[in-house]
Amino acid sequence: MKSKRLGRSPIFVSHLCLGTMTFGSFTDEKESHKILDICFDSGINFIDTAEIYPVPPEEKWVHQTEEIVGRWLKNKPRDAIILATKVSGPPHGWFTPPVRKGMSVLDKHHIFKAIEGSLKRLNSDYIDLYQIHWPDPKADHESYYVEILEALTRLKEQGKIRIAGCSNETPWGLMKSIAVSEKYNLIRYETIQNNYSILNRRFEDALSEIALKEQVSLINYSPLAGGVLTGKYNQENPPENARFMYYKKLGERQKKQVKRYLNEKSLETVNRLKPLAEQYNLSLTTLAIAWCLEKEFIASVIFGVTHSDQLADILKASEVKLEKELLKEIDKITSEIMYPLG
């Protein structure tokens, strides 16, 4: 398993990262621990979670993912694992998170409360990578980033975190955070965790240049576009237990995600990728993950599974080097079907 550095930090991680957001909802604890064991034994030392997991975020099972990971971590050598988690963003961002009574604003008070909860649930006295899960979309001033970075700097000084990162951040937000860090000599974001895949290349519009020039590593989530790039939704009868089949039965936020991911452009892209994958003797899953691993600005690809039998094609991607002609064909498809996810 290859490894890469996170930003300018001294931390190196496996170029595949296990995302755990289904542990406790779609995946029970026994299967979650089996998945963790297989990944760890395969050389994956990077695990990502969040205080609001599992998904979909609901009060009935909030925090369970960190607890499941924490119980697994008890029996593993802590120094061998790079553990990442996230503090929730504000309720006027994406949605109202089921933590701290829906009052999870990004200030010192809430960040300090969040880290103590995560440390306890994860059975660890430190977090390797502590991330802001999503930014405040209404914050357009320097003091917002000063408040956050001062809090994260204090946590680093206390030995509770090693490095910091952001998630779902904008080009303006990432550059503003870097400017504030430099101006006030505060901790900097070493990573950015944003959505990126063959179906969603928005990161390349502006953020990839920032990531490369400022040395902020992308650790991308949803490399399979919520499972769409596996091809299962192109079947006449998609599996009933698939995430977006389940989301169709839930609230407006989940239904919006279904419309975003399952549309004519996304499904047509998959239809055109399928014969390419077959031509090179690859599964669609392996192709999609390996494609991400080709990107210079990516340090590690965050993947998630609900069952251990889904791991083989993902792990295989770590051994695959895509041919230039195949990469050109993928570029051709994505240039003809622009931005399937909007």
Whether 246 is catalytic = no
- Unique residue bearing structure tokens 């698939």: 242
Degrees, nearest 5: CA angle 162-110-52: 80
Please provide residue 162's backbone torsions phi and psi, each rounded to the nearest 5 degrees: -100, -50
Burial of 38 from C-beta contacts in 10 A (0-12 / 13-18 / 19+) = middle
Pair of tokens at residue 249: 């039965």
Of the candidates 53, 189, 221, 261, the residue annotated as catalytic is 53
Give residue 180's Cα distance to chain centre. Answer: 24
CA dist 267 and 179 (Å) reads 40
Burial of 309 from C-beta contacts in 10 A (0-12 / 13-18 / 19+) = exposed
Q: Note if the bond before 54 is cis, omega within 30 degrees.
A: yes
Q: Which amino acids are annotated catalytic?
A: 53
